[in-house]
Structure 1
Amino acid sequence: MQARRLKTAMAIAAVAALAVGAAGCAKSERDGDSGEAKTGGTFIFAGAGDPKNFDPIFNDDGESFRPVRQMFDTLVSHKPGTAELQGGLAESWEHDPEGKVWTFKLRQGVKFHDGTPFDAAAVCFNFDRWYNMKGAAAQSQMIYYMDVFGGFANNESPDAGKPVYNKCEAKDGGTAVVTLNQYKGAFPGAFALTSLSIASPEALKKYDANTVKQNGDSFEYSAFATTNPVGTGPFTFGGWDKAKNEITLNRNPDYWGDKAKVDKVIIKIIKDESTRKQELRAGTVQGIDFPAPADRKALEGEGFQVINRPAFNVLYLGLNQKNPKLKDLRVRQAIAYALNRQQLVQTKGPGGAKVADEFMPDTVLGYAPDVQKYEYNPDKAKQLLKDAGAEGLTLNFYYPPDVSRPYMPNPQEIFTVLANDLQAVGIKVNGVPRPWNGGFKDDVQQFGKQDLHILGWTGDYNDPGNFVGTFFGRAKVEFGDQSMTEMFEAITKADATVDDAGKKAAWEQVNRDIAAKWLPAVPLWHAPPAIVVTKDVKGMVASPLTDERFNTVSVGK
C-alpha cells in the first residue's frame, strides 16, 4: 500500500478558528547560536488543585497534566497557541489509504531524562505497555486510553471494548509503525494526547510503573508515578513537597527542542481562588489560571497580563441513570427546561461565554445548528415531572468546591445557581461537595455515587470524537447509561466514517439524537478561560487546549 501524507480539513480550519493572536509568536532569547537561554531564575505558577500523579497514562485532568506536559513529549504536538498539529518526538508521519497503518519518522539524538535513548523501540514499548496493562484497577484509571483505543489485550474492566490498537513495530531505530484494527477519526490528533506521552522504558520497568492498587475508593500508584517520572521534556522532576504544596521542575539542559529559559519551575498548589489572587498581587507567584470572571478587568487595571484563550470547551450537568427516576427521558428533559442557562452565563460566566446547546463548540466538524434546544421553561419542567410521576424528586448533586477549571471557574457558585433552579420546580437537591482528586472524580467517574454532577471538558484536538465520543461513546458509570447501546453504536459508526462529507452528516445526526432522544447530560456553556501573569513574565503562549509549555517563559529581574 502506498503511504500518503495526512491532510485534514479540520486541522487546517483549526488554525484560523483557534489561533491565539500575538501571544502565540513568542521568540526564544538566545546567546548567539549556543542554544542557551539568556535568563535564569524561577517561574512560580499557582496550581488550582493537587495532581493525581505524574504518570501520563493514568491522568485525565488539567492539574495533573500541567506538570506532566513540562516533563514529557508526545509523538505529535500542536503549534504553540493553536490546535494545528506539528511534529513532536516524530518529525513526520504518514498513513496508508485506509488509515490503519501509521508510520512515524522519529527525531534522532533524543534522550530520556535518565540518559537512555529515545528510539522506535521505546515508542513500541509504551504502546505495548498500554495495550497489555493488567488489573481492573489500573485499566479503570486509563480513561483517555479507553476513549481512543477502546480496549486491551485482555479486558478485565466491563467498560473496555474491542481494541483499536493492533501492534507496533520498530522498523529501525528511527521508524515506528503503529497498526490499528480499524480506522478511527481521532487520529492523528490523538497521538498528541498528553496521556499518550512517551516515557522511559527503563524507568517504567525500574519503578514498577504498571502496578496500581485499589484501596476502597482510592488508588495507589507506583514510584514512577509519584516520585520518579522520566520523560524527554524540557524540565525534569525535582520533587513534590506536600508539606509546602509545591512541585519543583528543573531545567533539562539536554532537551532536544528549545531549552527552557528559567532554571526552575515551581507549581505552588493553592486551592482557594482568593488566595491565589492575593499571592499574585503579593508577587509570591507569577501566574494563575482561570481567574474569576469578575476579577479580569480589575487585574488588567492593576497591570497584570490577562491572556484569554478561545472557548474550546464545554461545561455540562451530568445525569446518572443509575437512579431509576433519571432513566425516564421526561425527567431528564424536565431538568433541562428547569435550568436558566442564559442567566447562569450572564451572572457566573466569564466574558465571552455563551449557552451551549451541544457538547462541542460550533467550530468542530459535525456541529448541528438544528438540534432540539431547551429554553428556560419552569412550567414545562413541572409538567414533565408530573407526567413522569416524579414530583417531589430528591437528587444528590456532587460538585468540587476546591478547584477552578477552564470550563468551570467557580464550581461552588455554579452549583448554587443550578440547585436553586431545580428546587424552584420542586426537585429537592442535596449538595455533596467533594475534593477534586481523591474524592469528586473517583465518586463520579469510578463509582457513580451521584445523581447529578457538574463537569466539563477542554478539547485535546479538533475532532467531534474528542468531545461527544469521549463523553458518550461507551458505557460509563458517570452517566449510568449502559443501556444506551443505540447511542454507542451511532457514535462508533460516525467515528469510523472516513470521508469528510459522510463524517459531517453522521456526527450532525448524532448531535441531534443526543439532544432529542438520549439526553445523557445537559450542556451548559462554552467559556473562554484566561491565564494571568505578572508584567515581568515574557513568552507565555496561551493555548486553546490549555496546553501551555513553560520552556518559552522568562521572568524579568
Structure 2
Amino acid sequence: MRHLVPSAAAVAFLIAGCGAGDAAGSSAQAGGTLTVAVTSDPQCLDPQQAGSSDAITVNRQFVDSLTDHDPDTGKLGGWLATSWEADPKATSFTFHLREGATFSDGTPVDAQAVKDNFDGLVKLGAKAVQAATYLSGYRESVVVDPRTVRVEFAKPNAQFLEATSTTSLGLVAKSSLAQPAADRCANGVVGSGPFLLEQYTRNQQVVQRRRDGYAWSPARITNRGAAYLDRLVFKIVPEANVRVGLLESGQADAVLGVGPQDTDRVKRAGLVISARPNPGLVYGINVNRSRPLVADGAVPRAIQRAVDRRQVVDTILSPDYHPATSVLSAPTLGYVDLGGKLSADPAAATEILTTAGWVPGADGMRVRNGQRLSLVVRYYTPDSGLAQSSLELIQQQLKKIGVDVVLKPTPVAQAIQTFKDGDYDLIWGNASAADPDILRNYFTVQGLNAVRLTAGPLQDALYAQAGEGDPARRAQQVALAQQLLLDDGWAIPVYEPTTVVGLSAKVRGVRFDAASRLQFIDVQRAGKGGK
C-alpha cells in the first residue's frame, strides 16, 4: 500500500526544515547537557495521552513508534517495525518487528507488546483523544509469532499506517500499561526511546538522561547508537521574551515558540533561527453552521473573501510564516493548492452580503430582518499572542464590510467542552497531523465536529477518504473535501502554522520530524564535554 506524496513545494519545505542547528561544525562533541526552554508545562508524560505541542516534544524523546515518517521524502520508513503489509481494503495491517529492541526496563518490544498497547489505547478511550481517532474501528491485534503482529479493523482505516509513525501511537512497556492513566501522566512511562525520564517538577522542568545501549533509530537519523548528550533539560518558561533572554545569555541552548517579534532579536544576537511549517489544519476560522447568522453559508463566504491573509502575515507574523492556500498546510499528505480561492476581495464580499439581504445599518454594521450581523469568535489562551493579534486585525478587516466580530478568549483547558457546547459562531484554531484524515477528525460527528456538519457531499468525501485503500482515489476525495470546505463556507483558512526555534550557534543536529516536533538523538554541542 502506497501513500499520498506531498507536492514538490511541500517537499521543498520539508527539506529546508531538516537538520536545524548544524552550525556547530566538526568541533561538536558528545556529552553534556542541552537545555531547552519550552512554552508550557507538558501536563502529561504519557505520549498516548499527551496533546499539546510541548508535551509531544518532551514525550517523543523517550518513546518510539512502529514506523517513521521521513520529512525529507514524505514516505514511511521502518523504526520498531522493519517492514509491513496492508490489505487493499485498509482493514488489516501486518508488521514485522526488528530484533533486539527493548523497553528501558529490559522487556522486549515484541508482537505481544504491540497488541497490549493497541488494546490498552482502546481502553483509555477519551483520555487518549488523538489515538482514539487513529484506531477508529479497531477490532483486535493478532500475535502471529513473536516478531509479527497483525492489526485488524472492522471497517477501512486508511490513515492508520501513517498514524503508526506518531507519538500518540508510540509504544510503552507492559509495566506502564498496568498503571492508572493519571499516574502515567504524572510519573511518566517506560518507553523504548533514546532518553529516560529522570525528574519532573511541574511548571518548572523535565529532566531526561541518555539511555545507554539504544541502537534502533530510524534510518534517516545519522546517529545509529545511543544519544550523544548526557541529559536533556526542558525548562518551562511561558514568557516569550524570557525564553529568548535565556538563549541570549547562554542559560538555554534552544528555545521553542520564538515569536515573530523576537526573530530579529535572536538573529542580531548571533543565534540561529530554524523554522518549518507544521502539517495538518492551518490556523483559521471555522464556522458553526448550526448558528442562525451563518447557517446559509452566505456570511462565511463573504468573510472568506474579506480576510486579507497576506496582510495578517506581513503585519502580525514574520517571513517564516506563509498565508494559507488551503485548509491543509503544504507539508500535509494530500494537500491541494487552492490559493486562487483565497485572495482578498472586499468588493466581492460586499456583493455576497448584499445579495443575501444584509444591508448597512445606522452604525455601518449590516442588518437583515432587524437582526444585526454580530458574530462571536472563540480562541484559546494562553498562547504566544498570535491568535489575539491576528483576530484583532481580521476584526478590523471585517468591520470594513459591515461584519461585527466579538472576540472571546477561552482557556485551553476548556477547549473540548467549548466544542461540545458549540457556544460560538466562529472558532479559531488549528490541529497538527501529517495525514489528511485530520479533516474528518476535526469536522465530522466522528470527531470534534467544530462546524456542526450534517449529511451532504462534504461529509461523504470525508468518510470516503478514511476508508479508501487506493491512494489515488483517496487523494481525489481529500481534494474534494478541501474544495467543499472553502466553497461552502465551512472553514476560513488564514495562515500556515509554523514551528520557529531559536538555537545556540554551538548546537548541531537538532532535527524536525514530519510533524515539526524536535528530536535530539543527533544533537551535539561545541566544546569539550558540552555544557
TM over 0.5: yes
SS at match of 1:414: helix
Q: Which has the higher contact order (CA 8 A, sep 6+)?
A: 2
Corresponding letter in the other structure for 2:426? L
After TM superposition, list the pairs within 5 Å mapping 1:53-92 onto structure 2: 53-79=44-70, 83-92=74-83
**Shift of the alpha carbon at 1:369?**
4.0
Q: What's the counterpart of residue 221 of structure 2?
A: none
**Shift of the alpha carbon at 1:59?**
2.9
Q: What's the counterpart of residue 144 of structure 1?
A: 130
- 1:181 & 1:478 partners in 2: Cα distance? 23
Deviations 1:505-555 (A, max 9, x none): 3332222222222x2221112254322110111111234521221121122
Please state if 1:488 is matched with 2:464: no
Decide whether the 8 Å contact of 1:11 with 1:84 is kept in 2.
no
Q: Paired residues, what number?
A: 504
* Structure 1 length-normalised TM: 0.81
After TM superposition, list the pairs within 5 Å mapping 1:277-292 onto structure 2: 277-292=244-259
Q: What's the counterpart of residue 419 of structure 1?
A: 395
**Shift of the alpha carbon at 1:382?**
5.0
**Shift of the alpha carbon at 1:54?**
1.9
SS at match of 1:318: strand
Going from structure 1 to structure 2, the CA distance change for 1:485 and 1:371 (only over 3 Å counts) comes to farther
SS at match of 1:503: helix
Please state if 1:10 is matched with 2:5: yes
Decide whether the 8 Å contact of 1:337 with 1:381 is kept in 2.
no
- 2:15 & 2:436 partners in 1: Cα distance? 19
- Structure 1, unmatched stretches of 5+, are 1-5, 31-36, 134-138, 151-162, 210-221
Decide whether the 8 Å contact of 1:49 with 1:403 is kept in 2.
no
Corresponding letter in the other structure for 1:275? V
- Of the structure 1 ranges 361-370 and 340-349, higher mean CA displacement relative to structure 2 is found in 361-370
- 1:380 & 1:299 partners in 2: Cα distance? 45
Deviations 1:387-441 (A, max 9, x none): 755852443333234324xxxx7223113212333344444444333443x24x3
SS at match of 1:375: coil
Corresponding letter in the other structure for 1:396? V
After TM superposition, list the pairs within 5 Å mapping 1:445-464 onto structure 2: 445-460=419-434, 463-464=435-436
Please state if 1:348 is matched with 2:316: yes
Going from structure 1 to structure 2, the CA distance change for 1:295 and 1:368 (only over 3 Å counts) comes to closer
After TM superposition, list the pairs within 5 Å mapping 1:139-218 onto structure 2: 139-150=125-136, 163=137, 165-205=138-178, 207-209=179-181
Corresponding letter in the other structure for 1:327? A
Q: What's the counterpart of residue 266 of structure 1?
A: 233
Q: What's the counterpart of residue 403 of structure 1?
A: 383
Please state if 1:507 is matched with 2:478: yes
- 2:380 & 2:518 partners in 1: Cα distance? 24
- 2:370 & 2:207 partners in 1: Cα distance? 52
Q: What's the counterpart of residue 106 of structure 2?
A: 115
- 1:12 & 1:374 partners in 2: Cα distance? 21
Decide whether the 8 Å contact of 2:21 with 2:510 is kept in 1.
no
SS at match of 1:464: coil
Decide whether the 8 Å contact of 2:29 with 2:526 is kept in 1.
no
- 1:365 & 1:528 partners in 2: Cα distance? 19
Corresponding letter in the other structure for 1:456? N
- 2:274 & 2:342 partners in 1: Cα distance? 32
Q: What's the counterpart of residue 525 of structure 1?
A: 495
- 2:183 & 2:498 partners in 1: Cα distance? 37
Decide whether the 8 Å contact of 2:18 with 2:512 is kept in 1.
no
Decide whether the 8 Å contact of 2:289 with 2:425 is kept in 1.
yes
SS at match of 1:361: coil
- 1:248 & 1:80 partners in 2: Cα distance? 27
Corresponding letter in the other structure for 2:431? W
- 1:149 & 1:497 partners in 2: Cα distance? 15
Corresponding letter in the other structure for 1:8? H
**Shift of the alpha carbon at 1:376?**
3.6
RMSD (Å), alpha carbons: 3.2
Please state if 1:545 is matched with 2:515: yes
SS at match of 1:494: helix
- 1:400 & 1:543 partners in 2: Cα distance? 26
- Structure 2, unmatched stretches of 5+, are 217-224, 360-367
